[in-house]
Structures are given as C-alpha cells and as structure tokens.
Chain A
Amino acid sequence: MSLVQVKGTQVELDEDGFLVDPEDWSEEMAAYFATVEEVADLTDNHWKVINYLRDYFKKFGVAPMIRKLCKDTGFSLKEIYELFPSGPAKGACKLAGLPKPTGCV
C-alpha cells in the first residue's frame, strides 16, 4: 500500500500501483498513471482505449478479453503495446482505473 498526491488529493494505491478504490479515478489520475507506465503523452488514441475499458467495465463488471478490446477499438495488440508499453493489463487497465488483473498472470 502507498499513498500518492494527485492534484491536491491523497489517493491510495496497492503494492503494484493499482487503485485500491475505483471511485478515486479521475482524468488527472490517468495522467499520473501515464507517468509511471512509460506513456509519454496521453493522445486521443490513449483516451479511446481508456474510455472503452471504463465503459466496458461499467457495463459488464469485467475487463474485456484482449481480442474484444482489439476488435472494438480497432487497434491491433501491437498498436496497444505502442500506446501502453507495459501492455493492456498492467498498463491500459491501470490507467483506466480498473481492478488489478488476477489469476496465474
């Protein structure tokens, strides 16, 4: 567990840097995560992925499968990695404020 200061508010993160409470998510939070996940600038393409992940999670309660993410956003996995160097799970999902991926990762 750790605390970070983002735009004057304190936010709690777990040991892997994911949000402990998804309610803490904000666009500023995404900007903060971008700095720790090697995303230089948050472009429209980044926001397209982030917003898609957030909408999908809100609707279905789970993160989308990689295939679904690629199909619906139109980005190939290669392009996703270009946008989020640490990948769709550790990178994109963290920026979108989704829960930490579980299982045998």
Chain B
Amino acid sequence: MARTDFGPPDYREMVPPIIKENYGDWKYHTVPRPGVLRHVSNSGAVLHSVRVASPRLVSSEWIHDICDIAEKYCDGYLRFTTRNNVEFLVADETKLEPLLAELDEKDYLIGGVGLSISNVVHTQGWIHCKSAVTDASGITKSIMDEMTGYFTGKQKVPARLRIAVACCVNMCGACHCSDIAIVGIHRTVPRINDEMASRICEIPTTVASCPTGAIRPNPKLKSVEINPEKCMMCGNCTVVCPAIKIMDPVNDGVSIWVGGKVSNARTAPMFSRLAIPFIPNEPPRWSTVTAAVKNLVEVWAANARDGERMGEWIGRIGWERFFKLADLPFTDKHIDDFTHAKTTFRSTTQFKF
C-alpha cells in the first residue's frame, strides 16, 4: 500500500540557513526600495527579500525559471507569499543588485511591499470551476494591468489596498474582507431538470441548501420547485444538485464591494460592502469593471488621509459622501434585506445632505 498521512515536508528543511540561524531573533526591517525588504537580526545578519508579482496560475516552465533565478542568487531559496507573490531570499548582499537587474531584464514586476497595491487574491473562474459566474484570471490580469504603477511603487497610495476576485458568491479567497472585491453574481432564477433531479439529487439536501427557503419538494415528480419571488440567485442549490442550472451568459456578471479589512491596525477588521450591484461580463478585458476599480482606487487615493484604508476612509466621511465622491448611484440593491438586515439601517438623524 502507498505511504499515506505523512503531511507536508517540515518547513525548516527549506528555509535558508540565515533564517534558520536568526529564527525569532530579528531586530527590525526596512523597505530600501519598492518590492525589497531588508531584515536585520540582533546578531547583525542582513537578509533581503525581493518580492515579485506572479499570476498565481503558472506553468512548470515558469516555476523552473524562478528556481533557476533562486539558484543563481539565493542559494536555491525562495518563498511564496499569502497573496501568491514570489520572494527571492538573498543572504549575500552583493547579489542583490545583479538579481534586481536580471528580474528587470526578464520583465518580472518587482513590488507589492508596504504601501502599495499588491497581488489580487483570486479563484478558478472559467479555467476550472463549474460554478464560476465570471472569470478570475482574466479580470485579475485586466485589473493589474491598470494597477501596475501602484504595484511597483511608481504611483503612491495612502495605505495598503487589497483587491480580491471571487468568481461566485461562495467567495473562495478574501473577497468579503478586502478593500475592493469583485464577486461574480447571477441574475436569473435557476431551471430544474426534474427527471434528472429525481435520479441524481438528494432532495432534502437541496431544499436545505436555500438561504431564503425558496425551494420546496415536488413529491409528484420526485423533484423540487423554486419560488422565483423568494430566489435571490445565489446558486447554492446548483452546487448540491447538478440537475439545477443557473448559468446565463447575458444576465451573469460581477458586483463590486468595498471597505473590508482583516488587520486590527487602528480599527477592527471589517467586512466589505456593496458599492456596485452589477456590471456585465465583458471578456477579455472587462473594461467597465477595470474602469470602476480604477475610479475607486483614484477617489480613495485622492481623498484618504495617510495610512487610512478604504473602509476607514468611508467610515470617516460616511457612505453618502462616498457614493457622491465615487460618482456611483445608490439603488435599492444596496439596501440589505437578508435576515438581520435591521442592524445595517440608519437609526439616527445624523446624515449629510
């Protein structure tokens, strides 16, 4: 029998000697230039990490290429960050400049450190997922093409700004807690193939999967029926029952959410909230989505104080100001109507005209 349950390799086998020697003994770090971190330990050891953008979905050739670079300048050591960037870990200071030169020459984007717009956390999209309402890699590429200056540090931002893409409301990844989030949404009530549902779907599971109780059993056909008045097209039933289809190329698209954060710095973590209810899918460049994201970044960058995240900025100026400054219409879609919606309503007379 095959060897099983032996877990991932111990990370200590793969950290560079300089990190092993100074583990838990670092004194401080600085950012000498965008994309480069300089860590200094109590013993005086200096480690440079050079952060480079990655498209997350990569070929093995690409992996081989970064391995070759790591071999040449970092004794074979590199790491991936939690936003899927690559960091080359340079222990030998004399190799830093040649590494930066080679990365530049090979068109790797150096950046994503500190006050910048780092990589987009994103999902499978039309590359691999059956419930994807929109693509992930395509939107990510289109957005980051616009954000390159913010990634490399050429354009300044007042604080970190996290962008995330999720291709459906499952929200795999970080959409619910990002400064700007792009989430794929449906706008069509699902269709049921009754004959197929009676064979391959667990009816009670399908009924229980609906957050609004819009689904009830249809015992005559051994299937289910959906109340279109109650359905908000989340697609959860299509996940558990393959006989229910919801895809609609015309009405499917994305929504844009703003103001989420996960850190506890200055303010508590926040969920992101709806800014734009719907933008249609426009492959391959998603130009309306990209323009909307660019607008949000620019309005925030022009108005926020130093160190103020998107959600903190909106918290200070208020949502009515935000919608005005961002030039976005406020619609009925923005008003929460799910179970505990009442807490999101305004229970004060304080507001700005």
The interface of chain A, by Cβ under 8 A from chain B, is 20-22, 60-63, 99-100, 102-104
14 additional A-B pairs beyond A21-B199, A102-B240, A104-B239, beta carbons within 8 Å, are A20-B199, A22-B199, A61-B202, A61-B204, A62-B203, A62-B205, A99-B199, A99-B200, A99-B201, A102-B205, A102-B239, A102-B241, A102-B242, A104-B170
Q: List 21 A-B contacts (CB under 8 A).
A: A20-B200, A21-B199, A22-B199, A60-B204, A61-B202, A61-B203, A61-B204, A62-B202, A99-B199, A99-B200, A99-B201, A99-B202, A102-B201, A102-B202, A102-B205, A102-B239, A102-B240, A102-B242, A103-B239, A103-B240, A104-B239
Mark interface residues in B241-277 (1 if CB within 8 Å of A CB, else 0).
1100000000000000000000000000000000000
Complex contacts, B240 vs chain A, CB 8 Å: 102-103
Interface of B is mostly: helix
Interface of A is mostly: loop
Which of B203, B205, B239, B240 is most buried by chain A, counting CB atoms within 10 A of its CB?
A: B205
The interface of chain B, by Cβ under 8 A from chain A, is 170, 199-205, 239-242
Complex contacts, B242 vs chain A, CB 8 Å: 102
Q: In whole angstroms, how far apart are the Cα atoms of A100 and B170 in the complex? A: 21
Q: In whole angstroms, how far apart are the Cα atoms of A11 and B267 in the complex? A: 61
In the complex, residue of chain A having the shortest beta-carbon distance to the beta carbon of B217: A61
Q: In whole angstroms, how far apart are the Cα atoms of A100 and B239 in the complex? A: 12
Complex contacts, A103 vs chain B, CB 8 Å: 239-240
Leading 3 A-B pairs by shortest Cβ distance: A62-B202, A99-B200, A102-B240
